[in-house]
Structure 1
């Protein structure tokens, strides 16, 4: 793919070999539809092969969200189609492993709400800068499916198993200050300063020894790759959950903005 082939990702070249990637569906808080989800599997290879890029900053369009998860229409399609479920499973895996395979440093500027596939990008970045008042959540448990996408491979490494278990099982939101405190993100900053801080970090990395920086990233990513089998298993279990009855109730509850009443939570009669 070439940069001009992307429909929902915008590219802006910055000085010193930095490129700004913007998730660009602001009318729906940059939620991922089928096309955007697929584009998130491809973008990392494109920037990795671009000799003019030395560092990457990724953010969300607008001032409200980094990415507000996946379109519910995609979830409904998965709940009724094995073909759709298998497609999304492959793409979710590709997003994670293709980010890890990108040699160039990636900095996320988490300017607002981050959920789902967008959150995978935000937290798998090598450095993350989050707005103090922004909120993130894995969110899968709220939908009635197990934590997947990226959670099993990166959350325990970032914030420890105790915090990871709590936040992934409850799907509670975490704001920027708390996310920085527990190590889920690298830095938090006032919302108006997030992008500038991320760009400054990228510019600093772009001025450094590219051989040293990329080799360091590659070495450290091996710690994440050690969790690959756990991630692969979590992804398979997540997809199985999409074929059950809880996810249908989860979608219905989200659409009507009420608390879900999951069939699996009912006591036996």
Structure 2
């Protein structure tokens, strides 16, 4: 299948992971694969296109270079703060990213090749099997930049590690290593960098050795609860995130990060 008109995602087949494997690579304009408007638009349709692709039975999702996806791009953050209507305008796509991920029937392995934060972490964790470099970092630091964790973190983190741990992670915005993420059950495996591709290939082979429709429909059944949670959660999450984008502390948090100084929060 031809994947046309994508500016922030690259596609390739059979990259050492076996036949009928499609590699989907997040490829931003900076070294951390930060999410800008164009990438957000790409992410809102890529998983639907993966489902339609007749040439693949398994998806490997990864990042270009040494980072998976470090979440929102700070230049885009500044634009959204200056023009709140632009933040409101992305709400349908924000919801579509999460729902299309959960509606994808084909099994998807996350090849977590570096940091995954915010939306990047959500996308990684909504894959079916997550294999990370042991020293990769993963977390949802929305609160550290003055935003509600509205892009799916409130859906997937509690489902994977329970509400208590999830609240601690999302309310602190802490990042943890791949090794720690595997220890607490957030991801499936953490391996040294040099063993990442071999582990992805191993899991892909095991999954693909089973009958196609048994695999796909087992995933569909298991995702029902997540889809229900997403339907209950996402509208409120996006609405609160949109409101948080208009607070004074949101602007201060972004400015402090870009100026590499402590935040001077007002509580407003």
Alignment of 1:23-42 (within 5 A): 23-25=26-28, 27-42=30-45
TM-score (norm 2): 0.93
- Answer yes or no: is 1:159 the counterpart of 2:161: yes
Where do 5+ consecutive residues of structure 1 fail to align? none
Distance 1:196 1:4 in 2: 30
Distance 2:30 2:239 in 1: 31
Structure holding more helix per residue = 1
User: Which residue in the other structure is 1:105 paired with?
Assistant: 107
- Answer yes or no: is 1:255 the counterpart of 2:264: no
Deviations 1:25-71 (A, max 9, x none): 363311111111110111111111111110000111112x1011111
Distance 1:61 1:196 in 2: 18
Task: Mark the CA change 1:101 to 1:128 in structure 2 (over 3 Å): closer, same or farther.
Answer: same
- Answer yes or no: is 1:56 the counterpart of 2:96: no
Distance 1:198 1:107 in 2: 7
Alignment of 1:134-173 (within 5 A): 134-173=136-175
Distance 2:26 2:213 in 1: 29
Secondary structure (helix, strand or coil) at the match of 1:223 reads helix
* Deviation at residue 2 of structure 1 after TM alignment: 4.2
Q: How many residue pairs get matched?
A: 264
User: Which residue in the other structure is 1:10 paired with?
Assistant: 10
**Contact 2:118 2:153 (8 Å CA) reproduced:** no
Secondary structure (helix, strand or coil) at the match of 1:68 reads coil
User: Which residue in the other structure is 1:78 paired with?
Assistant: 80
**Contact 1:80 1:243 (8 Å CA) reproduced:** no
Task: Mark the CA change 1:105 to 1:27 in structure 2 (over 3 Å): closer, same or farther.
Answer: same
Where do 5+ consecutive residues of structure 2 fail to align? none
Distance 1:34 1:119 in 2: 18
- Answer yes or no: is 1:213 the counterpart of 2:215: yes
Distance 1:220 1:147 in 2: 24
**Contact 2:61 2:110 (8 Å CA) reproduced:** yes
User: Which residue in the other structure is 1:237 paired with?
Assistant: 240
**Contact 1:37 1:117 (8 Å CA) reproduced:** no
- RMSD over aligned CA atoms reads 1.6
Task: Mark the CA change 1:195 to 1:121 in structure 2 (over 3 Å): closer, same or farther.
Answer: farther
Distance 1:147 1:39 in 2: 20
**Contact 1:105 1:126 (8 Å CA) reproduced:** yes
* Deviation at residue 173 of structure 1 after TM alignment: 0.8
Distance 1:59 1:150 in 2: 18
Distance 1:45 1:82 in 2: 28
User: Which residue in the other structure is 1:264 paired with?
Assistant: 267
